[in-house]
Amino acid sequence: MSQEERAASGAPQNVMMYDRARLIVSGVEEVLSFDSERIVMRTVLGELSVAGSGLRVGRLSVESGEITVEGLVSELVYSGSGGEAGGFWSRLFG
């Protein structure tokens, strides 16, 4: 299933942060890169970059598409539309 199809089907995307020390993200399709200062992942709603210090992946479930990040989170940034240019969100809000 493509990103566009998952977004259109209502696949969940949730981001929960606890005291800037623990972050749980669902709807994760792939972790693209990670180190102690930045974790970049592709989600059903686009690319999500998590920046901070002492970051580490506490848990990653490929089956459920959920990741837990621990460390001091200072920034969350989405980029992309969750699919190719002209994807679901572009058509919905375009």
DSSP 7-55: HHHT----EEEETTTEEEE-SEEEEEEE-SSEEEEEETTEEEEEEEEEE
Taking only the tens place, the pLDDT of each residue in 46-89 is 999 999 999 999 898 888 899 999 999 999 999 875 544 444 44
90 belongs to a structural domain: no
88 belongs to a structural domain: no
0.85 exceeded by the pTM?
no
55 belongs to a structural domain: yes
Inter-CA distances, 28 with 22, 24, 40, Å:
16, 10, 10
- CATH code of 25's domain: 2.60.40.2000
Domain count, the chain: 1
Q: What is the pLDDT of residue 80?
A: 75
Which residue range forms the structural domain that includes residue 36? 3-82
60 belongs to a structural domain: yes
17 belongs to a structural domain: yes
Residue 42 predicted with pLDDT over 90:
yes
Percent of the chain's residues with pLDDT above 70: 73
50 belongs to a structural domain: yes
